[in-house]
């Protein structure tokens, strides 16, 4: 008697693992790890028996541990009609911003790689990270509606299902090496030498790390905490010397949009812009002591 067919999600998890991508269970029809009290990094595996046993228990969605897989996934979101902040005012989708970045770098659009469409009109571009490189997970660092999932990050795999649809492969091309210009854009610059050893010196790597960290807090904020998280992030970043207002505004606006897409309740563009302005104003007049 032939064996019964595998559940579709188990088949998708095994397919990802067969590529060498460690997978772990996400909550059914969701993007969050299934076992919140357990570090998902410890669950990620390519072992077929373990995957079969876990996905027999429930229709889990599939997370891919991008860092362990040697992947950098660029997550491009649809603007859903929301106006993009400067300098991306003509953009309607994250891929418009990525195209502008590629053009500015004198490079072709990096779309000829394995690509997955998301249920909400976004897409995930998969790239192989060169051996020895560590490319970070970011929120809005490249530009409006662009996040990246790399070191210590994860991405929702093709085959996963949410209430609004399925993650599906739209381009079955081989996973391409991450273009050097993107490696450069995502690699924090080496710390600059302190100028005169002053206590208030903040080198570029510190500024970028602070920007990414505060943007991540905003993107991950819970319902009821979105405005205060955004206000605190804008204030904290505004107190850092040489971190300009357009850079702060662009990063936090993108992060707030990411937060809005995964939470409930109204969080309008006007409220987001006003909260960022208020936070920056407070941070400029009440800088943190170092």
Model pLDDT for residues 94-115, shown as the tens digit of each residue: 999 999 988 888 899 999 999 9
Residues 103 and 214 in one domain: no
More confident residue, 195 or 272: 272
% pLDDT > 70, the chain: 89
* Residue after which a domain boundary falls, among 160, 187, 214: 187
pLDDT at 3 over 60: no
The answer as to whether 192 is a domain residue is no
The answer as to whether 281 is a domain residue is yes
pLDDT at 202 over 80: no
% pLDDT > 90, the chain: 46
pLDDT at 190 over 80: no
Residues 144 and 42 in one domain: yes
* Residue after which a domain boundary falls, among 187, 214, 248: 187
User: Across the chain, what does the average pLDDT equal?
Assistant: 86
Give the per-residue pLDDT at 95: 95
Q: How confident is the model at residue 193 (pLDDT cuts 50, 70, 90)?
A: very low
Q: How confident is the model at residue 152 (pLDDT cuts 50, 70, 90)?
A: confident
More confident residue, 226 or 62: 62
3 vs 7: CA distance, rounded Å: 12
More confident residue, 38 or 94: 94
The answer as to whether 168 is a domain residue is yes
Residues 208 and 179 in one domain: no
Residue whose pair of structure tokens reads 């859903």 in the numeric block: 80
Residues 65 and 151 in one domain: yes
For the chain, what is the domain count? 2
Q: What is the pTM of this model?
A: 0.68
Q: What is the span of the domain harbouring residue 155? A: 1-187
More confident residue, 191 or 214: 214
The answer as to whether 197 is a domain residue is no
* Residue after which a domain boundary falls, among 187, 217, 244: 187
């Amino acid at each position: 008697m032939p064996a019964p067919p595998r559940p579709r999600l188990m088949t998708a998890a095994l397919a990802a693992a067969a590529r060498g991508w460690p997978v772990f269970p996400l909550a059914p029809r969701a993007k969050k790890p299934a076992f919140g009290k357990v570090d998902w990094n410890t669950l990620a595996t390519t072992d077929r028996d373990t995957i079969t046993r876990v996905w027999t228990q429930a229709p889990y969605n599939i997370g891919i541990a991008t860092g362990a897989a040697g992947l950098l996934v660029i997550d491009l979101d649809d603007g859903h009609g929301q106006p993009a902040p400067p300098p991306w005012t003509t953009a309607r989708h994250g891929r418009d911003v990525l195209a502008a970045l590629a053009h500015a770098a004198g490079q072709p659009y990096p779309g000829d790689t394995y690509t997955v469409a998301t249920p909400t009109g976004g897409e995930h571009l998969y790239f192989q990270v060169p051996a020895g490189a560590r490319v970070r997970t970011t929120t809005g660092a490249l530009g409006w509606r662009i996040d990246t999932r790399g070191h210590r990050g994860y991405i929702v795999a093709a085959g996963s299902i949410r209430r609004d649809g399925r993650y599906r492969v739209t381009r079955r091309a081989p996973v391409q090496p991450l273009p050097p210009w993107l490696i450069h854009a995502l690699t924090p610059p080496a710390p600059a030498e302190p100028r005169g050893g002053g206590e208030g010196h903040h080198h570029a790597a510190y500024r970028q790390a602070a920007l990414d960290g505060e943007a991540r807090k905003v993107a991950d904020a819970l319902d009821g905490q979105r405005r205060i998280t955004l206000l605190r992030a804008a204030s904290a970043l505004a107190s850092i010397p040489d971190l300009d207002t357009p850079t702060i505004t662009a990063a936090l606006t993108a992060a707030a949009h990411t937060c809005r897409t995964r939470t409930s309740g109204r969080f309008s563009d006007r409220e987001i812009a006003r909260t960022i302005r208020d936070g920056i104003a407070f941070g400029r007049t009440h800088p943190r002591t170092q």
